[in-house]
Amino acid sequence: MPHLSLPELADIVRNEIKQGQITEAYIHDPAFFVAGMTEGQRVTINPVPDTADVCIHEMLHRHFPHWSESYVRLRTRALLRYLGDDGIRRLCRLYDKVKKPGRAKSMEDAG
C-alpha cells in the first residue's frame, strides 16, 4: 500500500461518504462507548458518546468556572465512566430536548 497524501485521503473519505449506506443510530454496548461501526459496506455512526463528552465538559466549565482545563477533562472522563451506556443515552436525550440550533460561531468573537 503506497503512502497516501492527506489530500488523497480526504478525497477517499469524501467519496466514501458520497456512496451513502450510512446510518446515524445509537449503538448499545454494555462495556464500551461505541462511536461507530462498519459491517461490510454499511456504516453506523453514533454521535452520542462524543456529544455527551463535549456536553458534560462544557456544563462543568459553566458550573465550575474556576476549574482548570485539565481538571475538567479528568472529571468529565470519570463522569462518563460513572454514567455508563444508559446514563449517557439519558443525558443526551435531555440535551436533545433543550438544545437550540444556532449560527456558526468564531472563537475570535468570544470575550
Residues that bind Zn ion in the complex, under the rule CB under 5 A: 69
In 27-108, which ranges are continuous DSSP H helix? 48-63, 69-98
- Burial-class residue 52 by CB neighbours within 10 Å (0-12, 13-18, 19+): buried
What is the nearest approach in angstroms of Zn ion to the Cβ of residue 70?
Answer: 9
Q: Which is nearer to Zn ion, 25 or 74 (CB)?
A: 74
| Residue sitting closest to Zn ion (CB) | 69
Q: Which is nearer to Zn ion, 69 or 109 (CB)?
A: 69
Q: Which is nearer to Zn ion, 4 or 54 (CB)?
A: 54
